[in-house]
């Protein structure tokens, strides 16, 4: 089993620890937003280590939309590259854990439909896209 490498940002690491440590009964909303989040467990593309990241919970037709917004920063978050390299993930949604396979969605109208669902679940995504010149990556995690 690969070694777990905790997130470097304090608040992200604390969110993961609270969520995972409680078995999915605590820490299930993103900080002070009150909006639901999930934990995505994936493999680092350079380290091969186990990585965990909290993302907004956007559920569409039994699958989860993963949005690489990174708050509208100029570069993608590292997890985007990890998932592009290793598409098999685990998603914890509160107390349930699902093995899933992720694919990047680049074609409209599917991407637009998933983006709209994501922006409805977490409206700041619209501001983040306005802040950055990159196209924010959109992925769909489907049952493996």
pLDDT of 31: 82
pLDDT of 26: 96
Q: Which residues contact 7 (CB under 8 A, 6 or more apart)?
A: 13, 16, 51, 52, 53
Tens of pLDDT along 42-80?
Answer: 999 999 999 999 999 999 999 999 999 999 999 999 999
- Give the angle 18-5-34 at the CA atoms, nearest 5°: 30
H or E element: which one contains 110? helix 110-121
Label residue 63 left, alpha or beta by phi (over 0 means left) and psi (-120 to 50 means alpha): beta
pTM above 0.85, yes or no: yes
Residues listed for the chain = 144
pLDDT band at 28 (very low <50, low <70, confident <90, very high): very high
- Beta bridge partners, 138, equal 67
pLDDT of 65: 98
Tens of pLDDT along 88-109?
Answer: 999 999 999 999 999 999 999 9
pLDDT of 32: 80
pLDDT for residue 133 is more than 90: yes
pLDDT of 35: 95
Check if the beta carbon of residue 9 is closer than 8 Å to that of residue 56: no
Are β-strands 37-43 and 59-60 bridged in parallel, bridged antiparallel, or unpaired?
Answer: unpaired
pLDDT for residue 22 is more than 80: yes
Of 18, 43, 34, 19, the residue nearest 97 (C-alpha): 19
Query: Domains in the chain and their CATH numbers?
Result: 10-143 (2.30.110.10)
């Amino acid at each position: 089993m690969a070694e777990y490498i905790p997130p470097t940002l304090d608040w992200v690491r604390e969110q993961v620890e609270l969520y995972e440590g409680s078995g999915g009964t605590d820490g299930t909303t993103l900080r002070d937003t009150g909006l639901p989040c999930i934990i995505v467990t994936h493999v680092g593309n350079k380290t091969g280590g186990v990585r965990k990241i909290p993302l907004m919970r956007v559920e569409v037709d039994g699958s989860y939309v993963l949005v690489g917004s990174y708050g509208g920063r100029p570069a993608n978050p590292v997890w985007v590259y990890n998932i592009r390299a290793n598409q098999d993930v685990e998603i914890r949604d509160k107390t349930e854990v699902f093995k899933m396979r992720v694919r990047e969605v680049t074609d409209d109208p599917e991407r637009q439909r998933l983006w709209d669902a994501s922006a409805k679940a977490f409206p700041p995504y619209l501001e983040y896209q306005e802040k950055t010149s990159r196209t924010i990556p959109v992925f769909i995690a489907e049952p493996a």
